[in-house]
Amino acid sequence: MEPLDLSTRPPRGPREAMLGLTFMPRTIDKIRAEMPGGNIGPYLNESRGISAFMCRRIGVDMEDLRAAVIAAKDEAEVETWVRERLDPAGVEETNRKLESLTLERLSPEDQEMVRHHHPVLATRPDLVRFYDIFEADDAVTYT
């Protein structure tokens, strides 16, 4: 797969899905931005993030996913890799859990870190769900 430059455009939206699983395309885009020649821009992809949480929920090691994305020639190969490891019975519940993740569930320190990395929250205190925060932040950052 080719690296991505997320300093010029956002990753795919949090509600976009692969095999019915939301957030997976966004995670793939962030991994591609971490590749040599890529640029992760203002985004994070760390062990405490939503991508890692999604991977834990579906029983996929984040480092294994990262290696699969880097080794794949295209997205179809990544999709095949995910399909071989994904239990379709858990997708709907994982999507519900991801959609329900909110800022107030975090420690005050983690809330501050999120506010720092998502400046849209300074003008949009009404945003509490992470998917909404990500979409609003992407729109403000790349308009």
* CA 39, 56, 17, 100 torsion-angle sign: negative
Are 112 and 142 in the same domain?
A: yes
SS3 16: coil
- What letter does residue 129 receive in the DSSP assignment? B
Give pLDDT, residue 142. Answer: 85
Contacts of residue 95, defined as CB under 8 A and 6 or more positions apart, other chains included, come to: 17, 20, 21, 22
pLDDT at 130 over 90: yes
Are 94 and 107 in the same domain?
A: no
Are 10 and 70 in the same domain?
A: yes
Are 72 and 37 in the same domain?
A: yes
Are 137 and 68 in the same domain?
A: no
Asked if 33 and 5 count as a contact pair (C-beta separation under 8 A), the reply is yes
Are 65 and 129 in the same domain?
A: no
Give pLDDT, residue 22. Answer: 98
Region 97-109: mean pLDDT is: 93
Tell me the per-residue pLDDT of 19-42, one tens digit each, with 9 for 90 and over: 999 999 999 999 999 999 999 998
pLDDT at 96 over 80: yes
pLDDT at 143 over 80: no
Are 95 and 108 in the same domain?
A: no
Number of domains within the chain: 2
Give pLDDT, residue 48. Answer: 80
Residues of the domain holding 105: 101-143
Are 91 and 121 in the same domain?
A: no
CA 40, CA 6: separation in Å to the nearest integer?
Answer: 5
Mean of the per-residue pLDDT values for the chain?
94
